[in-house]
């Protein structure tokens, strides 16, 4: 293998991941799967074949009903106690650091095969805050992610704020001296960077800020509001004695609506709790759907259905979008008009709006001083987010052309700059000697 290139830029995302390096002076993205420069951040442990599948193969194994364990939104677990809890999978005791490390190792392997290079170092994107309301978890998340990279086989890893990487990749949209705002709404977090363009390819980051709200939170809220009531959320449960009823506890429904918590519901305890609710339910048909979802392990199938419904409802011309729950019950669906979705997401988008305003304050600027808005991340293209940001910055010019690749392109550029500095420093040191 050619060892001229030493650092691989990696955008490890909540929903999708990518990797790249500079080739012929430009960012070159690794083809992670046939015709695709991104890899779904999904892992499937196939119990029958004792194989581990990644990306689209993992998604396919779930959809086709293979016997095993599916995991997605792994990034959301960083910094939590779940990261270091050992669980038995296919004859091994693994924690989430092991699982994420194997995913990152697969990215490394595919990048080396595709490029003919050996990558010993990584430059990884990271949100400004993994946990915006818990400083200890925020610090621990970075410790966890570093360990994941080292277990994956990298000698070392450096980190760069994802919106700052996107700014580096998008300086071309602004002329020298102009000010831009990166609006990076990913699967797990919303991040902002205010930057000013300099000479050549240089930028100056003025301020960065973030909040733990992203696309998977959108999915969760939509599911809680529109899917979980069809499984018994909010329904009445009879007490053991007398005629009084109580409302079904929310915990099990909230976990079933949360990507990273779904695998932990497939336990005898959870199934027993659901069966108990069904036994005493005033409307047993609703709770029967809950027991079916747990017994048949359909949580992720429903989560994908919610995600598809969200995408359909986001289309301006689609006033009658639905969440297709046929996987759970023939003919079952939930209506999800654009208005219904906006109502469900209002509180979450308000948090994003507040974070954008706080970023401006950190930069010491007003909205009218922002010349350009650069939308990054799939959830930044949600109509409710776009409209809110355009209203907040009415004089800024929007750019959406590299929404899905800006972060990894910026990481590739920054990795190349770091490698050049290292090489030049080594040459200088040899000359001094």
**DSSP per-residue string spanning 118-182:** ---EEEEEE-S-SSTT-HHHHHHHHHHHHHHHHHTT-SEEEEEEHHHHHHHHTGGGS-TT-EEEE
Q: Which two tokens stand for residue 302?
A: 């429903």
**In a shared domain, residues 89 and 213:** no
Residue 237, H or E segment: strand 236-238
**In a shared domain, residues 153 and 276:** no
Long-range contacts of 362-368 (CB under 8 A, 24+ apart): 362/194, 362/207, 362/208, 362/209, 363/194, 363/206, 363/207, 364/206, 364/207, 365/179, 365/194, 365/206, 367/392, 367/393, 367/394, 367/395, 367/396, 368/395
**In a shared domain, residues 411 and 347:** no
DSSP label of 249: P
What is residue 259's predicted lDDT score, i.e. its pLDDT? 94
Locate all alpha helices (DSSP H) within 185-298, ordered by sequence.
Answer: 215-222, 251-256, 268-280, 284-295
Residue 58, H or E segment: helix 56-63
The boundaries of the domain holding residue 159 are 7-170+402-432
**In a shared domain, residues 162 and 202:** no
Measured distance CA(92)–CA(99) in Å, rounded = 11
Q: Which two tokens stand for residue 254?
A: 């909230």
Residue 381 lies in a domain: yes
Residue 2 lies in a domain: no
pLDDT digits (tens, 9 = 90+) for 164-208: 999 999 887 788 889 999 999 999 999 999 999 987 668 899 999
Measured distance CA(176)–CA(251) in Å, rounded = 52
**In a shared domain, residues 214 and 114:** no
Q: Which two tokens stand for residue 326?
A: 């046929």
Residue 19, H or E segment: strand 16-23
**In a shared domain, residues 250 and 217:** yes
Which residues in the chain come in under a pLDDT of 70?
1-5, 200-201, 241-242, 316-319, 422-433
Exposure of 160 in the CB half-sphere (CA atoms within 13 A): 27
Pairing of strands 333-335, 322-324: antiparallel
Total-model pTM? 0.91
Give the three-state DSSP class for 213. coil
Give the three-state DSSP class for 411. helix
Residue 293 lies in a domain: yes
Counting the structural domains of the chain, the total is 2
Q: What is the DSSP string of 346-369?
A: HHHHHHHHHHHHHHHHHHT--GGG
Sheet holding 372-376, edge to edge: 203-211, 190-197, 179-185, 372-376, 397-399
In the block, residue with structure tokens 């430059």? 123
105: CATH:
3.30.420.40
CB 192: neighbour CB atoms within 10 A? 28
pLDDT digits (tens, 9 = 90+) for 254-299: 999 999 999 999 999 999 999 999 999 998 999 999 999 999 999 9
Residue 1 lies in a domain: no
What is residue 428's predicted lDDT score, i.e. its pLDDT? 37
CA torsion, points 372, 378, 382, 386, in degrees to nearest 10? Answer: -10
**In a shared domain, residues 197 and 343:** yes
CA neighbor of 43 nearest in space, from 33, 57, 25? 57
CA neighbor of 371 nearest in space, from 173, 198, 179? 179
Residue 389 lies in a domain: yes
Residue 425 lies in a domain: yes
Query: Do the Cβ atoms of 389 and 190 come closer than 8 Å?
Result: no
**In a shared domain, residues 207 and 113:** no
What is residue 4's predicted lDDT score, i.e. its pLDDT? 60
**In a shared domain, residues 222 and 87:** no
Measured distance CA(306)–CA(397) in Å, rounded = 32
**In a shared domain, residues 180 and 303:** yes
b/e string for 157-181 if b means 16 or more Cβ within 10 A? beebbbbbbbbbbbbebbeeeebbb
**In a shared domain, residues 206 and 337:** yes
**In a shared domain, residues 312 and 428:** no
């Amino acid at each position: 293998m050619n060892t001229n290139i030493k650092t691989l830029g990696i955008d490890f995302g909540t929903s999708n991941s990518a990797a790249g390096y500079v080739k012929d002076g430009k960012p070159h993205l690794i083809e992670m799967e046939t015709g695709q420069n991104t890899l779904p951040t999904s892992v499937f442990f196939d119990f029958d074949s004792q194989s581990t599948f990644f990306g689209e193969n993992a998604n396919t194994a779930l959809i086709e009903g293979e016997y095993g364990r599916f995991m997605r939104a792994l990034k959301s677990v960083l910094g939590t106690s779940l990261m270091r809890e050992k669980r038995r999978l296919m004859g091994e005791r693994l924690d989430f650091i092991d699982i994420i490390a194997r995913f990152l190792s697969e990215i490394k392997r595919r990048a080396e095969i595709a490029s003919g290079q050996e990558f010993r170092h990584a430059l990884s994107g990271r949100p400004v805050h993994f946990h915006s309301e818990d400083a200890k978890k925020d610090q621990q998340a970075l410790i966890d992610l570093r360990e994941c990279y080292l277990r994956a086989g990298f000698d070392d890893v450096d980190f760069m704020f994802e919106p700052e990487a996107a700014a580096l990749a998008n300086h071309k949209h602004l002329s020298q001296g102009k000010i831009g705002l990166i609006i990076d709404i990913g699967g797990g977090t919303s991040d902002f960077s205010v930057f000013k363009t300099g000479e050549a390819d240089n930028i100056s980051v003025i301020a960065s800020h973030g909040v733990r709200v992203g696309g998977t939170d959108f999915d969760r809220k939509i599911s809680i509001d529109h899917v979980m009531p069809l499984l018994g959320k909010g329904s009445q449960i009879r007490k053991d004695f007398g005629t009084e009823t109580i409302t079904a506890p929310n915990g099990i429904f909230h976990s079933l609506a949360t990507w990273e918590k779904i695998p932990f519901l497939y336990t005898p305890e959870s199934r027993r709790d659901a069966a108990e609710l069904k036994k005493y339910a005033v409307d047993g048909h609703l709770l029967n759907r809950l027991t079916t979802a747990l017994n048949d392990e359909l949580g992720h199938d429903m989560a994908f259905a919610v995600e598809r419904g969200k995408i359909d409802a986001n289309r301006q011309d689609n006033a009658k979008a639905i969440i297709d729950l046929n996987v759970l019950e023939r003919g079952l669906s939930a209506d999800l008009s654009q208005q219904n979705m906006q109502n469900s997401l209002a509180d979450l988008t308000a948090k994003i709006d507040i974070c954008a305003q706080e970023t401006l304050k950190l930069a010491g600027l007003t909205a009218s001083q922002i010349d350009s808005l650069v939308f990054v991340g799939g959830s930044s293209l949600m109509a409710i987010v776009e409209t809110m940001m355009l209203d907040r910055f009415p004089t800024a010019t929007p750019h959406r052309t590299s929404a899905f690749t800006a972060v990894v392109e910026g990481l590739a550029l920054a990795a190349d700059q770091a490698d050049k500095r290292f090489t030049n420093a080594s040459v200088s040191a040899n000359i001094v000697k």
